[in-house]
Chain A
Amino acid sequence: MTAIELNGVSRWYGNVVAVNDVTMAIGPGVTGLLGPNGAGKTTILHMIAGFLPPSRGEVTVAGHSSWRNPAMFRQVGLVPERDSVYAFLTGQDFVAATAKLHKLADPAGAARRAIELLEMTDAQDRKISTYSKGMRQRIKVAAALVHDPEIVLLDEPFNGMDPRQRLHMMDVLGAEGERGRVIVFSSHILEEVERLSGTIQVIVGGRLAASGDFRAIRRLMTTRPHVFMLRSSDDRTLAAALMRRPAVNAVELTPHGLQVRAADYGTFTREVAGITRDYGIRLLQVSPADESLESVFAYLLAA
């Protein structure tokens, strides 16, 4: 079943293209929209949620266009990124009010269940204005789940969460995905997506750069050439030793140390310690020169 479909969707603001000719289909389970900040993930989520019309193409949710279609929220829950909730309400009031807006038969019971699921019961009677950012995120997710929607859209849901809250939220979303819900979340952090989602849609510069099973895409990333910066007690000897290894493609002596282009990320990182030991060289620094997400995405885009 395809719950969400984007068909040749573009969105531009004046001369600036935010999303460029994206086609994707999203079904049950957890799907991560991965991409650097400003890549267009939020714009795509807003178009799916009907808060932005596409400039070109079509966005459908459960078979209907999402633009000007508030009725779709019977089946859709939305967690916006912006940290703006009714701060004067208690967490319980907020989730129960959302349940009433959905005209649920038992709003108090639905609110209690959603709050329990997000482990917010202890804080539910406090005003949201006293919540930490992580707690606000959780109460927003509770409100988005209160009507038991088939589709849940979350914009950067892990922002501001501490590691424990993050793991718990991942477990909750993972379990909801396994129950057959369509969970779509955006993130610019690779590890979040890796842990949570089997399927990813990589967005770079407004385009769909890669799409599919996370493990396959991750493999593509780890077996690609990597560039490292090394500083040692004897750069020249180290350079000569490294060039004898098949895992190394190129070495350049720079004023800041050695720039090494490794053919294989895994093999190189295992071998470099042994080489320095064998030659009696003291290794002062090893740092990936291109490990930023942007460079990974740039590679994916070129691949």
Chain B
Amino acid sequence: MDGLLNGVVMRLTLRATMSRKRALLFALPAVILIGISALLTNTAHSPVWPPEVLGTVGLLVVALTSLLVGGSVLGGEIEDGSIVHLLATPVSRRSVVLSKYVVAVLLTWLLAAVPEYLAGAIAKGAGNRLAIGLLVGALAGALVYNALFVLLTAAFSPSRALAGGLLYVLVWEGLLATLVPGVGLLSVEHYSLGIANSIAHTGALHAGLGTGTAIGMGAAVTALALVLAVIRLSEFSVKGDIA
């Protein structure tokens, strides 16, 4: 029987993802975040800037990096058709999805969660509770976001998946979740903030969810998204010629 993860699929995914032109974009959000932190640390004197800026901008970086990476690991190969070579082997669809998901999560941790910690460390010092809390929140956020975006690319065309992901991050999370009570229950950003706040303990993060709710909802959404992605990939079909 197939294992949960397939090393060959993971290596192929990593090389395919990083060989695409858009790979240059992956690090851009993190570079901007660290730049902003360095600038504000030297110029801003408000005591609330690190939690507020790093809580919103920093987790937005996690969301956007997940969208770029999580949208590429499967979506890129579906877009250019090379996924057929992978699927024309006995490797289970579950193993394909999970292997690609793990690569996306690891890349997002490297490209967004670590920079989020670095930004927090620049602002408050390496061992600071806020920096560590934001790191853990970002690690958790990457787990949920990537599951969602892998599902989106398994279910929709690449352009629709990207548009749907952007709408979710910018409109649902950026706008509705801050204005409409209860929407935060379906916001990955709020899960991340809830988990970050369990370590940072600061009201300035504006965490709307408790730790238990954040972890429970995050885990449920992740599991559901991955199961649906496996089902979608099991029904992957290519369009043939039409008479």
Residues of A within 8 A of B (CB): 11, 13, 16-20, 37-47, 49, 51-53, 68, 70-74, 76-78, 80, 82, 84-86, 88-89, 97-98, 100-103, 140, 143-144, 205-206
Contacts and interface: CB of A to CB of B under 8 A. Distances in A.
Most chain A beta carbons < 10 A, residue from B90, B91, B235 = B90
A40 B88 contact: no
Contacts of A11: 240
A70 B91 contact: yes
B180 interface: no
Contacts, number: 108
B237 A89 contact: no
A69 B236 CA distance: 11
B241 A97 contact: no
Contacts of B80: 84
21 contacts: A16-B243, A20-B243, A38-B241, A40-B242, A42-B240, A43-B242, A44-B240, A52-B238, A53-B235, A68-B234, A70-B90, A73-B88, A80-B81, A80-B84, A82-B84, A86-B15, A86-B16, A101-B8, A101-B89, A103-B90, A144-B88
Contacts of B91: 70, 101
B86 A101 contact: yes
Contacts of A18: 240-243
A7 B88 CA distance: 23
A13 B239 contact: yes
B9 interface: yes
Given A13-B239, A18-B242, 19 more contacts: A20-B243, A43-B241, A43-B242, A44-B240, A46-B238, A47-B240, A70-B89, A73-B89, A80-B81, A80-B85, A82-B81, A84-B82, A86-B85, A100-B8, A101-B9, A101-B86, A101-B89, A101-B91, A205-B243
Contacts of B87: 51, 70
Contact of A37 (B6, B85, B241): B241
Contacts of A71: 90
